[in-house]
Amino acid sequence: MKENVFNREAKVIRKARSALSDGTMQGEGAEQAYSDLLSEYEKVVRQSKRLLKMGDRMQNALSSLNEELLLREQTFRGIFENATEGIYRTDGEGLILEANSALAQMLGYSCTDTLLCRIPEIASIFSNPHMLAQYRTSLMNKRVVRGMQAKLRCADGETVWAEINAGAIETQSAEEKQAPGVVGVIADITERKRMMREMCRLARTDCLTGLWNRGYFVELAAQEIVRCRRFGSKLSLLLVDVDYFKRVNDQFGHDIGDKVLIGVAETLRSTLREVDVVARFGGEEFVVMLPDTELKAACKAAERVCQVMREQDFADKGDTPLPVTVSIGVTAYQGSETTLDILLKQADLAMYSAKHKGRDRVECCSLEQAGNF
């Protein structure tokens, strides 16, 4: 309020005092002076009352605003402390100013105080410097981080997979300067990652034997053929068929038949190299891809498989012995014109040749035969 609001009232008061000191209070002039003084004084009183009421209203509004701010603060604190996701706030340098109990629990700390003491800055929770650089770059360029997945370091040295969403904020400091900071939310997605890996594994594997399924084998074999074309690598293929498998199912039942298939799969895995790709191709057929292997070496590996199969007994303990043999067709990559379909047809013809010649044997698709496809 300006100081000259009551200038007029001050002039009336000075005039009345002058009349009083001059001894001229007698008469019409004195009466008028005091009349004006009374009038102005009453006006001042009325204005003062209005100002008082205005001040009361402002005080009430301020109290209501404070109550609303307090309620919002309590609501925010309730969300902050009871959220299942981790929440943090940092200053412009990345120093953690606040963190909730969910974040402390996620990272294996007993309370937020311990977390803030052990991890003074947000950079300390990243287990991979490349992920940290990605986080900082996104904040610098876009001022937000959306759905970033990263491994975070826990108190015990282990890591958890987390999804980070964060945004830069501007806060007014006491010195009237803008102080940038970051508010972020972190969700633990370790279980989600595990489930996704399991789903991918199930989509790629045969549910009975645990080997790769046909679809994934085709994908891996196509990639290997591309490598052969580019680098001139060797590649061989085995097509393995269980002899007289229908008799096993008819005589012993499908449950025993399933055990035979599982046993054949385990024998293939244990007999061949770790780099060899073994898959169930369908029914009682199995397919094996041997990287960096020429036809002659592949035939020797197939002979070894046949020999090991003859020595196995696939019956349950105490049951009648159940020997199983296999017929194997072998082929090899012949050049840039060779496709996976061609290799499978060659191996299939060689495998049926083995069956026609008495089973329990290996037949190779010769280089001359392969050239006819």
| Other Cβ atoms closer than 10 A to 159 | 17
State pTM to two decimals.
Answer: 0.64
Pair 176, 248 in one domain: no
CA 48, distance to chain mean position in Å, is: 66
Residue 195 lies in a domain: no
Residue 8 and residue 125 in one domain: no
**The total number of structural domains that make up the chain:** 3
Please tell me whether residues 69 and 100 are part of one structural domain: no
Mean pLDDT, rounded, for 152-178: 80
Contact by Cβ (8 Å): 127, 159? yes
Averaged confidence pLDDT in the chain: 86
Q: Check if 311 is active-site.
A: no
Tens digits of residue pLDDT in 309-340:
999 888 766 567 788 999 999 999 988 889 99
Q: Tell which of 50, 77, 104 closes a domain.
A: 77
Indicate whether 24 belongs to any domain.
Answer: yes
Percent above pLDDT 70 for the chain = 83
Indicate if 31 and 101 belong to the same structural domain. Answer: no
184 and 218 part of one domain: no
> Is position 200 within any domain?
no
Whose structure tokens read 């981790």?
Answer: 86
- Asked whether residue 199 is domain-assigned, the answer is no
Catalytic one of 284, 285, 337, 368: 284
Q: Looking at the structure, do residues 248 and 357 belong to the same domain, yes or no?
A: yes
Q: End of a domain among 31, 52, 77? A: 77
User: 134 and 56 share a domain?
Assistant: no
Residue 42 shares a structural domain with residue 107: no
pLDDT in tens, 24-53: 555 666 667 767 776 777 777 678 778 878
pLDDT over threshold 50, residue 304: yes
pLDDT at position 245: 93
* CA atoms of 122 and 141, how far apart (whole Å): 18
- Tell me: the pLDDT tens digits for 214-229? 999 999 999 999 999 9
**Does 295 share its domain with 248?**
yes
Whether 73 is covered by a domain: the verdict is yes
Domain residues for the domain of 185 are 83-190
Task: Write the CATH number for 88.
Answer: 3.30.450.20
Beta carbons of 300 and 315 less than 8 angstroms apart? no
- Give the pLDDT score at 135: 94
Type of residue at 26: Q
Residues in contact with 170: Cβ distance below 8 Å, sequence separation at least 6, in sequence order: 178, 179, 180, 181
CA distance 91 to 4: 47
Per-residue pLDDT at 71 exceeds 90: no
Do 158 and 223 share a domain, yes or no?
Answer: no
Residue 196 lies in a domain: no
The residue out of 17, 48, 77 marking a domain boundary is 77
One domain for residues 210 and 338: yes
Residue 66's pLDDT band (boundaries 50, 70, 90)? confident
User: For residue 229, is it within any domain?
Assistant: yes
One domain for residues 306 and 167: no
333: in domain:
yes
**Domain CATH code at residue 281:** 3.30.70.270
